[in-house]
Chains A and B, each alone.
Chain A
């Protein structure tokens, strides 16, 4: 049952991801992206990560994509086929990526690399973490973020803060003594 669900979600994700770049009308691309975000959320649900699924929809589908749609409508884009002319490059890069993925999967099966596979992940987790996972994934994510991964979390917040200040500086000419162009 879970395998069927996984292959359904994976197939739709791949299909809609291709459609996002294949459609010539940007509005259809945004709709395809919306369907893709929903199926990524579905994938999270099959992994029992309901919190991540909800956050995926709230942040990406609910906020970021609405902003995309907003911009696409305001800019009134012409039907643009500049991306369609780069099919050759796309196929070449795709083949390289696919070869790398097949190599990784095969080497993981043969060499039994500890970095890949959920069983290895569960074995590497401490019993303390396992106890939290049984309590609920929201608490587990919060606990991990504020204990084990506190430093990367703070670094990510700092980068986001820098990006935010940068966006304000770029959008609002005249702060910090900069002259209007």
Chain B
């Protein structure tokens, strides 16, 4: 009986997270078009619904009813497998992210934690492991399409993802040294008590933060690092031959990955659900029992800040050339991240010496 309640609670949590993530993905496509339009002094989508807010639903319906084409020279098995290999790793990472305070709740005598699906002691490594699997969807999709543009896009993506994954891994080591744990919940808990306790400011992880954000943009194949699908050179890169729902899966994977890296950035560097003040505002107002509402709101605000940053960068910067991308990753970001690891560990060693 207890096991059943526990499993039921877990299922409810997973369903909630999936619904919120997929809705966010849908409306991020609209938000991106709107933000880009406003930055370019246009209106953006205005036709479907008031101010175009029903545009994602129209787009989804269109993709759903489109004909599903498999090119005659394509490898059927890998062509179908690639979108799944893209979208599953993008969604599976949300299992270890703390969306709110690590408080416990009792339902029918079973203790559950309502704001995190599961707290495993290698949380951040788990996300990195599955993020690295996402590259297979791109490479295999590019290869299986039997199209030169697709193959070129897939190869570019492979090289780019391997290079920038390394930088992401090194950039977060500073935070892991400071928190002494790989668990996302413990990392978020360690930053309580105001914004000067966040690892970005209190831990002086500014270099790590900048390297992480730049590498995260590259890892998700977004402009200015979207060489894998550079539309002026490669049609649509590895997605050229895809249509209908398979294309929608790739699209979903890209936006889910954006949300995931934003969540990681918020938890690791900006304290996750922690308030920037020593206490939650709602506690000053006299409702200490309701502070989880404010915690979730803080987390959402931080994640949306990063998502906005993605759009902002896209509207501002031109695409890099391929050799510039590689040189920047290996000769600028990698030494910076290594230096950050070295300096952080030396400082932590001397500060924490008993």
Interface residues of A (CB under 8 A from B): 27, 31, 34, 50-51, 54-55, 57-58, 61-63, 66-67, 69-70, 73-74, 136, 138
**Is A63 a contact partner of B158 (Cβ separation < 8 A)?**
no
Total number of residue pairs linking A and B with CB closer than 8 Å: 67
* Residue numbers in A under 8 Å from B182 (CB-CB): 51, 138
Interface residues of B (CB under 8 A from A): 78, 120-122, 125-126, 128-133, 135-136, 139-140, 143, 151, 154-155, 158-159, 161-162, 165-166, 169, 182
**Is B154 a contact partner of A73 (Cβ separation < 8 A)?**
yes
The B contact surface, by secondary structure, is helix
**Is A50 a contact partner of B122 (Cβ separation < 8 A)?**
yes
**Is B132 a contact partner of A62 (Cβ separation < 8 A)?**
yes
Complexed CA–CA distance, A147 and B120 (Å): 26
**Is A57 a contact partner of B132 (Cβ separation < 8 A)?**
yes
* Residue numbers in A under 8 Å from B126 (CB-CB): 54
Shortest beta-carbon distance from A135 to chain B in Å: 10
Q: Which of A54, A66, A74 contacts B136 (CB 8 A)?
A: A66
Complexed CA–CA distance, A61 and B158 (Å): 13
* Residue numbers in B under 8 Å from A70 (CB-CB): 139, 155, 158-159
Q: Which of A51, A57, A69 contacts B158 (CB 8 A)?
A: A69
Q: Which of A51, A55, A63, A138 contacts B162 (CB 8 A)?
A: A63
**Is A61 a contact partner of B133 (Cβ separation < 8 A)?**
yes
**Is B122 a contact partner of A73 (Cβ separation < 8 A)?**
no
By Cβ-Cβ distance, the 5 closest A-B pairs, closest first, are A62-B132, A54-B125, A57-B129, A54-B129, A58-B129
Q: Which of B78, B129, B161 contacts A66 (CB 8 A)?
A: B161
* Residue numbers in A under 8 Å from B139 (CB-CB): 66, 69-70, 73
**Is B155 a contact partner of A73 (Cβ separation < 8 A)?**
yes
- Which chain A residue lies CB-closest to B127? A54
25 cross-chain CB contacts under 8 A: A27-B78, A27-B140, A31-B78, A31-B140, A50-B120, A51-B122, A51-B125, A54-B125, A57-B129, A57-B133, A58-B128, A61-B132, A61-B133, A62-B131, A62-B133, A63-B132, A66-B139, A66-B158, A69-B158, A70-B158, A73-B139, A73-B143, A73-B154, A74-B155, A138-B182
Q: Which of A31, A58, A66, A67 contacts B125 (CB 8 A)?
A: A58
- Which chain B residue lies CB-closest to A73? B143
**Is A27 a contact partner of B132 (Cβ separation < 8 A)?**
no
Complexed CA–CA distance, A11 and B122 (Å): 27
